[in-house]
Amino acid sequence: MKVSVVIPAAGQGKRMEANKNKQFLLLGGKPILSHTITIFESSSSIDEIILVAQSEELDYCQSEIIHKYNFNKVSKIIAGGATRQESVYNGLKAVSEDADFILIHDGARPLLTNELIEHIITEVEKYQAVAIGVPVKDTIKIINQDKVVVDTPKRDNLIAIQTPQAFRRNLILEAYQRACEDDYLGTDSSSLVERLNKEIRVIEGSYENLKITTPEDLELAERIISRRLV
């Protein structure tokens, strides 16, 4: 069984308001993206890593991330697109044809654990499409354009979805191709598979598996990393 991972890292990190792509900011003294890749590089269940980066950052990624940290499983660095969805699709098209399963994981989530990788791979072998998520802690409201509440969904049914998300190779390629044909833009990969009327299994993620989006996330990630290092 062959498992590949696509890591989209071609965003701009606007919400981080840093003077560079947030994935190159340091966390525990190393670039955020290097932490993310290390998790998959060290996993005996992952055969191939496809990294997706902005076209003008391909060389930087090659020298300052892949070469510097000696990542051997990164087989390709592919140019991303204007949206996360486009970037992921570019990465998916570069995955080896003999891959059975593909994981998709945000470059901006450097705190994933090996246990979660093992768990999601075991589940995707059984169920074709799996996402990880955590129960939401706040009450979620749906508002209209005037910022007036129109509904309060029952919290028991709400999950905050994270990455990685894992899929059988042909299924996820079909989902991205169909979304592209239909001009559908989703905020995660599993929503594209839902459109094919396929079930997505959700397994328990971790509140520590943060997506580093704003400066407070980076501060929290620093605390988690330093605790893990002791």
Ligand X SMILES: C[C@](O)(CO)[C@H](O)COP(=O)(O)O
Ligand Y SMILES: Nc1ccn([C@@H]2O[C@H](COP(=O)(O)OP(=O)(O)OP(=O)(O)O)[C@@H](O)[C@H]2O)c(=O)n1
CA dist., res. 11 & res. 22, Å (int): 9
Least distance (Å) from ligand Y to the CB of residue 123? Answer: 22
Of residues 2 and 76, the one with the C-beta less far from ligand Y: 76
Between 109 and 169, CB nearer to ligand X: 109
161 binds, among ligand Y, ligand X, none (CB under 5 to 8 A by kind): ligand X
Say which entry of ligand X, ligand Y, none residue 188 contacts (CB below 5 to 8 A, set by partner kind).
ligand X
Identify the residue among 14, 137, 147, 154 touching ligand Y (CB under 6 A): 14
Asked if residue 187 binds ligand X (CB under 6 A), the reply is yes
Residue 80 binds ligand Y, judged by CB under 6 A = yes
Closest CB 13 distance from ligand Y, rounded Å: 4
Is residue 107 part of the contact set for ligand Y (CB under 6 A)?
yes
Handedness of CA 25, 21, 75, 185 (dihedral sign): positive
- Largest interatomic CA distance in the chain: 52
Cis peptide bond upstream of 164, omega within 30: yes
Verify binding: residue 15, ligand Y, rule CB under 6 A.
yes
CB nearer to ligand X: give 78 or 192.
192
Q: How far is the CB of 106 from ligand X (least distance, A)?
A: 5
- Is 12 among the residues that bind ligand Y (CB under 6 A)? yes
Q: What are the distances in angstroms from CA 50 to CA 10, 82, 106?
A: 12, 18, 12
Does the footprint of ligand X cover residue 211 (CB under 6 A)?
Answer: yes
| Full 3-state SS string of the chain | CCEEEEEEECCCCHHHCCCCCHHHCEECCEEHHHHHHHHHHCCCCCCEEEEEECHHHHHHHHHHHHHCCCCCCEEEEEECCCCHHHHHHHHHHCCCCCCCEEEECCCCCCCCCHHHHHHHHHHHHHHCEEEEEEECCCCCCEECCCCCEEECCCHHHCEEEEEEEEEEHHHHHHHHHHHHHHCCCCCCCHHHHHCCCCCCEEEECCCCCCCCCCHHHHHHHHHHHHHHHC
* Interface with ligand X in residues 102-131 (CB under 6 A): 106
Q: Which is nearer to ligand Y, 28 or 100 (CB)?
A: 28
# of chain residues touching ligand Y (CB under 6 A): 21
Does 211 sit near ligand Y (CB under 6 A)? yes
CB of 25 to ligand X, least distance (A): 16
Q: Please give the residue ranges that form the binding site for ligand X (CB under 6 A).
A: 84, 106, 161-163, 187-188, 211
Residue ranges in contact with ligand Y by CB under 6 A: 8-15, 23, 52, 80-84, 87, 106-108, 211, 213
